[in-house]
Amino acid sequence: AQSVTQPDIHITVSEGASLELRCNYSYGATPYLFWYVQSPGQGLQLLLKYFSGDTLVQGIKGFEAEFKRSQSSFNLRKPSVHWSDAAEYFCAVGRETSGSRLTFGEGTQLTVNP
Amino acid sequence: KAGVTQTPRYLIKTRGQQVTLSCSPISGHRSVSWYQQTPGQGLQFLFEYFSETQRNKGNFPGRFSGRQFSNSRSEMNVSTLELGDSALYLCASSPFGDSNQPQHFGDGTRLSIL
């Protein structure tokens, strides 16, 4: 069965600093990978996705992620964090035979200090 | 284009009761998936409906059921409520439920069991 691990439960960064959120997946074939963000009291918003091709993908709000097959990782990065980026971030994996079903990581709570 | 709409936003029930949650997908989307989000278990897939048929099911007891109507709107029902059913229930839609199509999430229904 596929699984997703987000090693960092909580990360605190200063506004303007760079950010990297880690995500590791377990799946035999090439997975479909997603990053979502959730603000308090709201649903999930898609930041970016990877299906195939270029391993560096660009998303909304200045986020990017890099797929590294050798490390089974799909880490999310942002060069300069804004206070409005404070939220919970979820990595998710899907696979071709599972339709729309996603397996989510535990989430990483991001706090941004002024 | 309107997003995914979930009603009601908040619900309070007591143990043993049953509850029905509603989800209206984005116009034109035919796949609707449901997820349960709790602090302890995170985001877990409940089931997916496509063209009024359940196409995929997660590992939840039979007390959790759903259905989809011809206009793609979906309802989820939980019978004989337990304290552990307290959660945020999220609905997501996509055009055809293919694994390489991003899910669009609603803001969820917060269910509290007393």
Give tens-digit pLDDT for B49-81.
999 999 989 999 999 999 999 999 999 999 999
Euclidean distance between CA atoms A21 and B97, whole angstroms: 27
Residues in contact with B69: Cβ distance below 8 Å, sequence separation at least 6, in sequence order? B52, B75
Q: How far is CA B60 from the centre of its chain?
A: 12
Specify the pLDDT at position A30: 73
Q: Does residue B87 register a pLDDT over 80?
A: yes
Share of chain B above pLDDT 90, in %: 89
Asked if A106 lies within 8 A of B42 by C-beta distance, the reply is yes
pLDDT classification of A23: cutoffs 50, 70, 90? very high
Specify the pLDDT at position B62: 96
Q: Under an 8 Å CB criterion, which residues of A touch B?
A: 32, 34, 36, 41-46, 49, 51, 90, 92, 94-107
Mean pLDDT of the A78-95 span: 95
Specify the pLDDT at position A28: 67
Residues in contact with A50: Cβ distance below 8 Å, sequence separation at least 6, in sequence order? A32, A33, A34, A57, A65, A67, A74
Cross-chain CB nearest to B33 (options A45, A100, A103)? A100
